[in-house]
Structure 1
Amino acid sequence: MKTLEKVNYKGFIWPLVVGIVLWCITPWRPSGLTPQAWEMFAVFVATIVGCITKPLPIGGTTLVGLVFTVLLGLAPMKDVVNPKTGVVMNQGVLSSFGNSAAWLIAMAFIMAHGISKTGLGNRIAYIMIQKFGKKSLGIGYAITGLELILGALIPSNSARTGGVVWPVVQSISEEGYHSEPHSPSRKKIGAYIDFTAFHANILSTALFITGAAPNMVAQQLAAQKGYQMTWAGWFFTAVVPVAVATLIIPYVIYKIYPPEITETPDAKKWAEDKLEAMGPMSVPEKIMTAVFCLSIILWVLSGFFKIPQLDATFVAFLAVALLLITGVLTMKDALAETGAWNILIWLSILMFMAGKLISYGFIGWFSKLVQNGLQGISWGLVLGALVLLMFYTHYFFASGTAHMTALYLPFLSVAVATGAPLGLSAMLLAFTGAINASTTHYANGPASILATTGYVTQKEWWKMNFVLGLIYLAIFGFIGTAWMKIIGVW
């Protein structure tokens, strides 16, 4: 007998309460805002709250928000065009699904399926452990190096952690050193490399614009303020602070959370056995490697040459087409990559709603309001305060995407309104959206995976992340800002 799918109906309570309350106070909205601006704000906030309480997966939650946007008359389904001039007078919700960033990351998800299907991701992991796994600290750096490589290959930070890195961490800990979760033996080595793997994920997320969905949200929102983030531009801006953090973070973790086992000669043998079992690189692996290298080259070139055929989203489509033509992937593989189609839905919808907040004048009103209240205060202090707020308010969010969507554009608008350089503000706030995962055990997908393995207690997780969070803020706030000055971002 067929039954209904499980729905978290309790998760609808807070979005509905927040949305209804905000909607009902429309007659008493702040002066300077139109009814449409306030009503769009109510629907947007209710949708963001839904992304936190999760009555449905984020794709389903945003679809419900989209339905309310249309039902309440805040946007039509199709573009409303002036018949005389042909100019779009009111953008329809269907146009949101032409969002280039959403399609780029969807195609990148499908590419990542090839990394997993061919075994290339595992091969890279075993090679890293083989080369750098003689000591526990070396394994920490190997896991970090693995994540940095995978950050360019796999656009989902959760997929990198859950699909490749965590299985490697688990195998090394349990098979290699009998370091078991939920037992005193966790401190042998498992706890150290589990926690290091999480911070390696933060670094890989910060290094690539395709490292995680919140980065793509920042890219789209920054474009609405006139700042264009390219794949190459993001990488060259991030490379120095990430390189510094890569050298420091694994060592700091090693010192504040040392493993009982410091020498790990068996790790090399373990990795060699895994590589021997895999055999030489297969034809699919070689094609996957070639296609990915081509994509990286074209993405870098797209940052320097404004050629339509080098558009970053087109490059991702080209890569997927090549993988289909060569037989590395099938259309069945592409259609089965649910993460791709899920992100295409929710990212497109959230960007559409944010765009409506701009077109109805809400963001402009908010910027002027804060600007008037901050007159006479140095833009440096304002930007610093906004970065700290972006970081520490993440304690109240279980989704990096929801956090970025809710605060990035208002914060960027405020920073610029008080005189802060657009490029510096856009990039610092975007990087903060990556490093603020160094907070809670529910900060993002990788945290939810690695904090619940039984290797690191919740108290340890919060305590150490607080310390490391200060280090990230110092590195990106000072070294990152100086580097951006050198390369002309501001």
Structure 2
Amino acid sequence: MILMSPGEPTSNRKLAWFLIALLVYGAVLLLPTPAGLTASGQVALGLLALVIILWISECVSPAASAIVLTGAAVLGLMGKSLTAGAKPMTSTDALTVMLNGFSSSAVLLVAGALFLAVALKLTGLDRRVALMVMSRVGISPARLTIGAMIVGFVLALFIPSATARVGAVIPIMVGVVTALGLPVTSSLGATLMIVTAQVCSIFNMAIKTAAAQNLISLNFMQASFGRTLTWGEWFITALPFTLSMCVVLFVVSLVLLRPHVPPVEEAKRRLAEEVANLGPVTPAEWRLMLVALLLLVMWSTEGWLHPLDTTTTTQLGIALLLMPRIGVMTWAQAEKQVPWGTVVLFAAGISLGVLLSRTGAAGWLASVTLGQLGLGATPVFLVVGALSLFSIVLHLGFASATGLASTLIPIMIAFAETLPYGRETAFGIVMIQSMVVSFGFILPTNAPQNMLCYATGAFSTMQFAKVGIVLTLAGLGLLVLFSATIWPMMGVL
């Protein structure tokens, strides 16, 4: 009798998915090349199928999927021309193409922002901010829900990782619930955890630097349209939508989950103790707050008071945080806590998107999928609604918004450029779709922050989906409404 360790079934399942991904890639390459698609474009579509399976099945880590993607691309592209009339590529040429993403300034911005998240964690400033907010909002279902939203917003200004933000907030929310003498699985516990996860996705859409998928989308838009959005332009464009989504989340969570709060004196005392245990603000925290506020001012005034872009100002801020005496951490401390796999995945995603665009594969795929919807003569707001619904349905199979952005945005760009509205309107359509990439509201598996909150056991999948479906439908309606009213007046569409 052969004994099987507990980890073997999982390993076998991952191996099976990995082999399926490779087989699908090989099968796409062996198919006859469709009319209108180049041989290199066919390779790009094969790579797209490969990484979609890798990302959805999570059979390998994000960094490993990037390595597999690069290796498969080099083998597939060798001997083929990248564009019509170009010379066939060698392995070096193909590798250079797949390393394009690593030279993007957006990758440097993501890495720098992750260092900022590490600084907040090392100094404990993220915990201090969250505790101070929760201790001041008051103890009632409505006030605690608003407090969770405020914490999510403040941390989203400075921490670009949804996982890091939610990871910092979860222990505090659990502490609030238990301080009231309630189990984590109570209606209040479920409400605070679901709101923490959902509001994280909302503020991913609100703030340019809050999520890597925003930056990867803007990178593609810069390459295709020759323009981008400053931090302030993104924030102002997204503001009416995200504020409306916060109101919807507030009402829906209170109505559907009906959180209950017992007498509040014990909770107030416990929260006061937690704040007291933090002690006075340390010199390192003061320095970090000064740098963080400086960055926020520089980001929000980009292109107005100064000519420095978001990436440059972020790098200057990180340099200050790493300087002796002035800074709050050393390189040795920071590098151990930065999720480098996220950076590698981000760069590989950009490389794939560039390949889809340059080979014409994105345009071909857009024409045979979105092009069949007959949206050419449709009002812009209905186009936005149809494309958003397409993105939302596709998101149900993705756990990585970065992966979804890498897959979806090049296709959206190619399709938007075929519409008879002009390049400015096409840019606005794609910008809205880059926000929809963060619509991970329905299932716990749709976003890492959802899974972190789900792991606490505070809520069931049904509770999460009940709130998420209403939030998603409301969001879809708001997208159409604002695309017909506010956004055209703002010059977005």
Same fold (TM over 0.5): yes
In the other structure, the counterpart of 2:312 is 314
Helix, strand or coil for the counterpart of 1:302? coil
| CA distance in 2: counterparts of 1:375 and 1:479, whole angstroms | 19
CA distance in 1, matches of 2:110, 2:199: 21
**Residue 94 and residue 393 in structure 1: after superposition, are their counterparts in 2 closer, same or farther (change >3 A)?**
closer
**Are residues 219 and 74 of structure 1, via their aligned partners in 2, closer, same or farther at CA, if it must alter by over 3 Å?**
farther
User: How big is the shift at 1:371?
Assistant: 4.3
Deviations 1:129-177 (A, max 9, x none): 1221321210110010000010011100111111x11111111112x12
Asked if the contact 1:148/1:203 (under 8 Å) is kept, the reply is no
In 2, Cα distance between equivalents of 1:366 and 1:94? 23
Q: How many residues align?
A: 465
Tell me what 2:407 maps to: 406
Q: Deviations over 1:13-57 (max 9, x none)?
A: 2311221111110xx221011111111221232123212222221
Deviations 1:383-441 (A, max 9, x none): 3211111112222222222222222221232234223512320222111111x211111
Instruction: Name the % identity.
Output: 22
The 1:483/1:49 distance shift into structure 2, 3 A limit, reads: same
Q: Which amino acid aligns with 1:62?
A: A
Distance 1:322 1:210, change over 3 A: same
The 5 Å alignment of 1:103-252 reads: 103-162=108-167, 164-174=168-178, 176-181=179-184, 186-226=185-225, 227-252=227-252
Offset at 1:305? 6.1
Across the aligned residues of Structure 1 and Structure 2, the Cα RMSD in angstroms comes to 2.6
Q: Secondary structure at the match of 1:151?
A: helix
- Distance (Å, rounded) in 1 between the aligned partners of 2:76 and 2:93: 18
CA contact (8 A) 2:385 2:479 kept: no
Checking the alignment, whether the CA contact within 8 Å between 1:441 and 1:461 is kept in structure 2 is: yes
Aligned to 1:479: 482
Note the alpha carbon deviations across 1:193-217, whole angstroms, 9 max, x for none: 1111122212221111121222222
Q: Describe the SS at the equivalent of 2:209.
A: coil
Equivalents in 2 of 1:337, 1:248: separation in Å?
Answer: 35
| Secondary structure of the structure 2 residue equivalent to 1:393 | helix
Structure 1 spans left out of the alignment, 5+ residues:
77-81, 83-87
Counterparts of 1:382 and 1:204, CA distance in 2: 24
Match of 1:39 in 2: 43
CA contact (8 A) 2:115 2:338 kept: no
**Deviation (angstroms), 1:243:** 1.8
Q: Closer, same or farther in 2 for the Cα pair 1:300/1:375, shift >3 Å?
A: closer
Q: Distance in 1 between matches of 2:466 and 2:373?
A: 35
Match of 1:292 in 2: 292
TM-score by length of 1: 0.88
Q: TM-score, normalised by structure 2?
A: 0.88
Quote the Cα distance in structure 1 between the aligned partners of 2:273 and 2:485.
Answer: 45
Is the Cα–Cα contact under 8 Å of residues 191 and 253 in structure 2 kept in the other structure?
Answer: yes
Amino acid at match of 1:346: L
More moved, 203-212 vs 216-225: 216-225
2:19 equivalent in structure 1? 13
Contact 2:43 2:73 in 1 (8 A): no
Per-residue CA deviation, residues 236-281 of structure 1 (Å, 9 max, x unaligned), is 1112221222233123211111113266444433322222111221
**Preserved CA contact (<8 Å) 1:299 1:315:** yes
**1:424 to 2:428 alignment:** yes
The secondary structure found in structure 1 opposite 2:446 is coil
> Are residues 200 and 268 of structure 1, via their aligned partners in 2, closer, same or farther at CA, if it must alter by over 3 Å?
farther
Inter-CA distance 476–333: structure 2 relative to 1 (3 Å threshold): farther
